[in-house]
Amino acid sequence: MFNKSLFIVSAFILLSCGATKTASSHFVFKDSKAEQKYITSYNNTMKLWPVSYEEKDINTSFGTAHVIISGPTSGEPLVLLHGMDASSTMWYPNIGDYAKKYRVYTIDYLMEPGKSVSKGDKLNTDEIISWYDQVFNNLGLEQFNLVGMSRGGWMATHYTLHSKDRIKKLILLAPVQTFNNIEVDTKTMTAANFKFFPNRNNLKKAVNALSRRPEKIAPAFKEQMYLGVKNTKSNFDVLQMTPFSKKELKALTLPVLVLVGDHDILNNSNIVEKAGKILPKINAAVIEDAGHFLTIDQKDEVDRRIIEFLDTKK
């Protein structure tokens, strides 16, 4: 069981989430041709973006941050941190709802496939926090609401603990390694297999394991997901992305929304109960008929709960 657990954590955290990853001259891509194929697929997915947007590249001491901005300029700022290897394009089904009222900023994670480009330095999580600070300072975001999906949920929690005064409300969607360790079973093994052996058949199996409604996922985004793993290099530099302690979680005194799908293979739905007992200002729910990809599986329900939570004046 220990070896299986190590396999899963390695696949989902070290390969996909590692802030200690060392980028090549072509970011995490195998070569410039592989990078260009991925960027083309990224741009194809952006054709699904249902609202107008601006793409902005921000220079930082760690590299260039790529940000997609949508919504009214007068809107309250809302920052979205995507899941592992998904890039900011993963929000294409949801951005239309969020951008009606809010000024939305989606940021490509520096050490994964996307348009953010690392200088090649080896970054730990504290340096990633510093990188986000530089990005937010450049955007003029003194206070904002923060949403994190999957690996982005862990990073959003980590950032909030280091910058409590900056975050108004925190929203965690299927956050991995945040409340509990990933549990091991045949479905998690199936999903992890795509990371080690990236081919289209394994992608299909992984998507079917992670989503209750795989037919809802746009072909363009599936292609981007495939190239994001197939055309990139991963290594085993260790990032200590472990669940937060009870003491750390209790320090989150701001309003927090936690949503988890009832068929999420990476999260036990019991984390909703656990979060409710620990977090001081918690609003949590299990989303029915949703897997790990709950923002796609039950897009309307998830978006409704997020908007209601943000609109509540508490």
Q: How high is the pLDDT of residue 237?
A: 40
pTM above 0.85, yes or no: yes
Please check the confidence at residue 25 and state whether its pLDDT lies above 90.
Answer: no
What is the SS3 assignment for 305? helix
Domains of the chain in sequence order:
2-311 (3.40.50.1820)
Question: pLDDT: is 27 or 117 the higher one?
Answer: 117
Q: Compare 298 and 3 and report the one with higher pLDDT.
A: 298
- pLDDT given at position 168: 98
Inter-residue contact 2 to 205 (CB < 8 Å) = no
Residue 262 has pLDDT above 50, yes or no: yes
Distance CA 11, CA 6 (A): 8
Percent of the chain exceeding pLDDT 90 equals 71
* Rounded CA separation 17/125 (Å): 10
Q: Residue 293 is encoded by which pair of tokens?
A: 């990809």
Integer angstrom CA distances of residue 108 from 92, 261, 312: 14, 24, 28
Q: Which helix (H) or strand (E) holds 144?
A: strand 144-149
Residue 119 pLDDT exceeds 80: yes
What mean pLDDT do residues 115-136 have? 89
Q: How confident is the model over 263-311, as pLDDT tens digits?
A: 999 998 789 999 999 999 999 999 999 999 999 999 999 999 999 999 9
Report the 10 Å Cβ neighbour count for 41: 23
Q: Are 123 and 111 in contact (CB under 8 A)?
A: yes
Q: What is the pLDDT of residue 209?
A: 94
- Report the Cα 304 to chain-centroid distance in Å: 19
Q: Which two tokens stand for residue 287?
A: 């989303």
What does the pLDDT look like over 43-63, one tens digit per residue? Answer: 999 999 999 999 999 999 999
Is residue 185 within 8 Å of 7, Cβ to Cβ? no
Q: Residue 287, Cβ neighbours under 10 Å: how many?
A: 24
Q: How far apart are CA 173 and CA 180, in angstroms?
A: 14
Amino acid at 255: P
| DSSP bridge partners of 80 | 106, 147
pLDDT for position 77: 99
pLDDT for res 234: 59
Q: Is the pLDDT of residue 22 over 70?
A: no
Give the model confidence (pLDDT) of 230-242 as tens digits: 887 654 343 468 8
